[in-house]
């Protein structure tokens, strides 16, 4: 059939199973927007800023495991996507971004809204394309989705000149296997690698599993649990690994790293074997790499060969699909017990429980930790939460245990403020039957709060939690600890968030005391469409534990026990 380039884009999206795209129109992408009218099967969500489109596509992808799609025009429309693309790249989120470009004949002439978006996004995409020939477009569309979703997932950008979108050709959908020279993601482990890893597991007395985002991306949650239970190996989770194994499981110790559980960090430092699964030894997880788990052997399994021995040298490195490699390994994993090691970890956990702020008396104060803890109780711990970046993000990680994969979404690697609200909207489109809560701070929320209009226009049932401490809380915390309490550029004026929500015709409520939290959850659940709840919390709350940047992982600043002092 004879189709224009823009119709080919839509036809290929339909055949890739795309049901929703997030975008903002403009001159260079207008032919594709016109073609959308012929494809009602694909819903278009009109964002208020292209960064929101990228985060929505990212949230959709993280919640579903499918490829999210964002679309924008040339120039500023395309560059506004870049922060969201970089966010997806750092966290290995599968996404395809489609941008319009000026006509081929004017490329390089500084035409109106011209920008070299393929050049700009080389460092933050898995791959990108400038479509120079409409006949190549069907193959490029197929390749883009294949690259985005296979191996280590990531964002792919397709830049399409306006005249290519208008040009017509006889369209034949390219069938058959996609073969790309030099692109062969690893899948299984060799016999030698398996043998070496199993030998280390058999000989370990103090083993620990480090479970990362790759567990969920490969669908290896069941294999992780089987490995942990069979060999009685405690599990420490990365921030993006939360939900890889139920956090109420007796072998799950908690989250590791800068604001992780003390028991996890002490355990890592004293382990004699670390089994790193689908994680990349990020600096926020390791602290000082020179003193990181100094007496342990290390096994690292990851789909990306470049991650192995990149930050931490390991004894056995296996590049492969995590689920496949664990399936190979499990039949030979011995049944073991490590009672002394488990008991040691339990002692650390009990000490942490004594320091837990939610059990302390805080007369007259509402703490962010209390809000998240009580939200967890009120939702039965079964909600899909999407966190922005800052203190509230770490409090969510600490006080909202997750029992299922893909139910805690946040910007980990890039730490993108403004991610929370749009990503929650995207997640709700991907998982309409999930109860979705966006957990944001007063700072990050104001970066993308224009997407309240998107949520209202689309009638998306997202419950928005704003923890308002009138500060850029995490930066203020660093200033308190390391900059002699010079709070420069961190006190923050905000609008009246309840009135702001009213301006968008969104139901809203302000909470100032802990006894209102349960009522606020009922309020949010009682309304269709988006709801906003502002929790006015203690201004100078501290997130403990905290490993200072570059410090040893065990050198944590810890919350004092009652009677020990203020810090």
Residues catalogued as catalytic: 50, 112-113, 162, 474
- The answer to whether the CB of 108 falls within 8 A of the CB of 116 is no
Cα-Cα-Cα-Cα torsion 32, 37, 40, 43, nearest 10 degrees, comes to: 50
What's the N-to-C CA distance of the chain in angstroms? 71
Specify the residue for token string 């052997």. 297
77 Cβ neighbours under 8 A, 6+ residues apart = 24, 26, 28, 29, 50, 99, 100, 113
CB atoms near residue 239 (< 10 Å): 28
Enclosing H/E stretch for 214: helix 213-217
- The answer to whether the CB of 75 falls within 8 A of the CB of 115 is yes
**What is the spatial distance between Cα 381 and Cα 520, in angstroms, rounded to a whole number?**
16
**What is the spatial distance between Cα 219 and Cα 199, in angstroms, rounded to a whole number?**
25
394 Cβ neighbours under 8 A, 6+ residues apart = 259, 474, 543
Burial class for 374, CB neighbours closer than 10 Å (0-12, 13-18, 19+): buried
- The answer to whether the CB of 553 falls within 8 A of the CB of 269 is yes
- The answer to whether the CB of 386 falls within 8 A of the CB of 437 is yes
Q: What 3-state DSSP class applies to 272?
A: coil
Burial class for 331, CB neighbours closer than 10 Å (0-12, 13-18, 19+): exposed
**What is the spatial distance between Cα 346 and Cα 545, in angstroms, rounded to a whole number?**
17
CB atoms near residue 139 (< 10 Å): 13
CA distances for 489 relative to 85, 295, 473, 478, 482, angstroms: 28, 42, 11, 13, 15
- The answer to whether the CB of 31 falls within 8 A of the CB of 166 is yes
Alpha-carbon torsion (58, 63, 66, 71), positive or negative: negative
Q: What 3-state DSSP class applies to 382?
A: coil
Burial class for 516, CB neighbours closer than 10 Å (0-12, 13-18, 19+): middle
181 Cβ neighbours under 8 A, 6+ residues apart = none
Burial class for 338, CB neighbours closer than 10 Å (0-12, 13-18, 19+): middle
- The answer to whether the CB of 547 falls within 8 A of the CB of 286 is no
- The answer to whether the CB of 54 falls within 8 A of the CB of 127 is no
């Amino acid at each position: 059939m004879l189709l224009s380039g823009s119709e080919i884009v839509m036809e290929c999206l339909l055949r890739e199973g795309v049901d929703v795209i997030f975008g903002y129109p403009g001159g260079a992408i207008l032919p594709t927007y016109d073609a959308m009218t012929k494809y009602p099967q694909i819903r278009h969500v009109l964002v208020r800023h292209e960064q929101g489109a990228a985060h929505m596509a990212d949230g959709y992808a993280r919640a579903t495991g499918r490829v999210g799609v964002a679309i924008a025009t040339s120039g500023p429309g395309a560059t506004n996507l870049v922060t969201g693309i970089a966010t997806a790249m750092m966290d290995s989120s599968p996404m395809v971004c489609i941008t319009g470009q000026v006509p081929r004949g004017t490329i390089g002439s500084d035409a109106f809204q011209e920008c070299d978006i393929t050049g700009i996004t080389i460092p933050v995409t898995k791959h990108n394309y400038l479509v120079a020939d409409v006949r190549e477009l069907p193959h490029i569309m197929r390749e883009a989705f294949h690259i985005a979703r296979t191996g280590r997932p990531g964002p792919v950008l397709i830049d399409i000149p306006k005249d290519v979108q208008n040009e017509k050709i006889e369209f034949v959908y390219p069938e058959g296997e996609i073969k790309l020279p030099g692109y062969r993601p690893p899948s299984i482990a060799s016999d030698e690698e398996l043998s070496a890893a199993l030998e280390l597991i058999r000989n370990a007395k103090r083993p620990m599993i480090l479970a990362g985002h790759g567990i969920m991306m490969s669908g290896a949650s069941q294999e992780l649990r089987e490995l942990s239970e069979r060999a009685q190996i405690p599990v420490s989770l990365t921030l993006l690994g939360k939900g890889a194994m139920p956090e109420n499981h007796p072998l799950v110790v908690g989250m590791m790293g800068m604001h992780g559980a003390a028991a996890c960090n002490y355990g890592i430092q004293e382990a004699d074997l670390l089994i790193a699964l689908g994680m990349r030894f990020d600096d926020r997880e390791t602290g000082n790499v020179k003193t990181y788990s100094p007496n342990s052997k290390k096994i690292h399994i990851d789909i990306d060969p470049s991650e192995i021995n990149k930050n931490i040298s390991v004894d056995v490195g296996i590049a492969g699909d995590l689920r496949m490699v664990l399936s190979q390994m499990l039949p030979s994993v011995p049944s073991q017990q490590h009672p002394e090691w488990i008991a040691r970890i339990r002692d650390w956990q009990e000490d942490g429980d004594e320091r837990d702020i939610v059990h302390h008396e805080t007369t007259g104060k509402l703490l962010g930790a209390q809000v998240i803890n009580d939200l967890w109780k009120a939702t039965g711990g079964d909600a899909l939460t999407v966190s922005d970046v800052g203190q509230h993000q770490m409090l969510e990680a600490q006080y909202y245990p997750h029992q299922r994969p893909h139910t805690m979404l946040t910007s980990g690697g890039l730490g993108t403020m403004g991610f929370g609200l749009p990503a929650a909207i995207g997640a709700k489109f991907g998982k309409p039957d999930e109860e979705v809560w966006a957990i944001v701070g007063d700072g990050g929320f104001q970066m993308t709060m224009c997407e309240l209009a998107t949520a209202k226009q689309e009638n998306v049932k997202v419950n928005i939690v704003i923890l308002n401490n009138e500060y850029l809380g995490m930066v203020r915390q660093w200033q308190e600890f390391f900059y002699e309490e010079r709070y420069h550029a961190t006190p923050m004026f905000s609008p009246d968030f309840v009135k702001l929500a009213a301006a968008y015709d969104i139901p809203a409520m302000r909470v100032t005391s802990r006894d209102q939290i349960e009522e606020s959850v009922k309020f949010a659940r009682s309304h269709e469409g988006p709801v906003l709840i502002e929790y006015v919390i203690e201004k100078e709350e501290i997130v403990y534990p905290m490993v200072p940047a570059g410090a040893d992982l065990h050198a944590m600043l810890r919350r004092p026990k009652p009677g020990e002092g203020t810090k």
